[in-house]
Amino acid sequence: MSDTHSRYATVEAALRLIEERKAECILHCGDIEDADTVWLFPGTTHFVFGNSDVERQSIRQAVYGIGASLHEPFGHVFLDDMSIAFVHGDDKRLFRQLEESDKHDYLFYGHTHVAAEHQTGRTRVINPGALHRASKHTFLILDTDTGATETVVVE
């Protein structure tokens, strides 16, 4: 998910939908905005900062407080033998480096508030949409066994 921008009710609704789908891991692609938002997430969440995350120290403390992980300047995890990178997307140079490296099966990003997907080499590049300032509030579920994705609309 990405671009939650301190929208607590929307984040809570999204997290309920994630729990219903029994997701094992959450990747947050930045623009959290405040520590209070972080406290809503489970410890299985991985965060990166976005350009709107100016309260970095309090966000950092909250991430560690919930037992989650904060990755800087981008995230990288292995899930079911898949290399997954994630970044906010405002640093275009970093984004291009990750996209063109051909080292990742997936690259997730946010920043634009627009859901999108394309392929660069072996890498599926996916923006899950946003939970704020978007025509539809969306996030994405990836089935790491099959590679299938589900865009979930948050009402």
Q: What is the mean pLDDT of residues 3-9?
A: 97
pLDDT of 152 reads: 98
**In Å, how far are 3, 69, 86, 100, 136 from 43, measured between CA atoms?**
19, 8, 17, 31, 27
Question: Is pTM, for the whole model, over 0.85?
Answer: yes
The alpha carbon dihedral of 39, 7, 17, 114 has a sign of: negative
Residue 115: which pLDDT band, with cuts at 50, 70 and 90? very high
Q: What is the pLDDT of residues 30-61, one digit of tens each?
A: 999 999 999 999 999 999 999 999 999 999 99
DSSP secondary structure of 19-60? HHTT-S-EEE-S---SHHHHTTS-TTEEEE--TT---HHHHH
Q: What is the mean pLDDT of residues 19-24?
A: 95
Q: What is the pLDDT of residues 85-94, one digit of tens each?
A: 999 999 999 9
User: Domains along the chain?
Assistant: 8-153 (3.60.21.10)
Residue 147: which pLDDT band, with cuts at 50, 70 and 90? very high
What would the two tokens of residue 30 be? 């930045």
